[in-house]
Amino acid sequence: MTILKIEQGINNKILRTTSKKVDNILDPEVQTLISNMEETLKSLEIGIGLAAPQVGKNLRIFIAKKSVSSKTVFINPKIIFLSKKNQEFEEGCLSIPDLKGMVKRSIKIKIEAFNKQGRKFRITGENLLARLIQHEIDHLDGILFIDKAETLYKLEDKSEIKNS
Ligand code: CO
CA of 118 to the centre of ligand 1 (A): 24
**What pLDDT score was predicted for residue 73?**
98
Tell me whether residue 7 is one of the annotated catalytic residues.
Answer: no
Predicted local distance difference test score (pLDDT) of residue 162 = 65
Long-range contacts of 30-35 (CB under 8 A, 24+ apart): 30/59, 30/61, 31/116, 33/57, 33/59, 33/61, 34/61, 34/63, 34/73, 34/116, 35/1
Using alpha carbons, list the distances in angstroms from residue 41 to 35, 45, 112, 155.
Answer: 10, 8, 22, 21
Selecting among 7, 112, 136, 160, the annotated active-site residue is 136
Nearest to 132 by CA among 43, 68, 67, 53: 68
Distance from residue 95's CA to the centre of ligand 1 (Å): 6
Please identify every residue whose CB atom is under 5 Å from ligand 1, which is an ion. 93
| CA of residue 75 to ligand 1 center, whole Å | 16
Nearest of 137, 3, 138 to residue 77 by alpha carbon: 137
Instruction: Indicate the pTM of the whole model.
Output: 0.96
- Residue 159 and residue 75: Cα distance in Å, rounded? 37
| Amino acid 126: pLDDT | 98
Q: How far is the CA of 96 from the centre of ligand 1 (A)?
A: 8
Looking at residue 160, what is its pLDDT?
81
Q: What is the pLDDT of residue 101?
A: 95
Q: Is 136 helix (H, G, I), strand (E, B) or coil?
A: helix
What is the per-residue pLDDT for 163?
A: 67
Query: Which residues of the chain are under the pLDDT cut of 50?
Result: none
8 A C-beta contact, residue 71 and residue 83? no
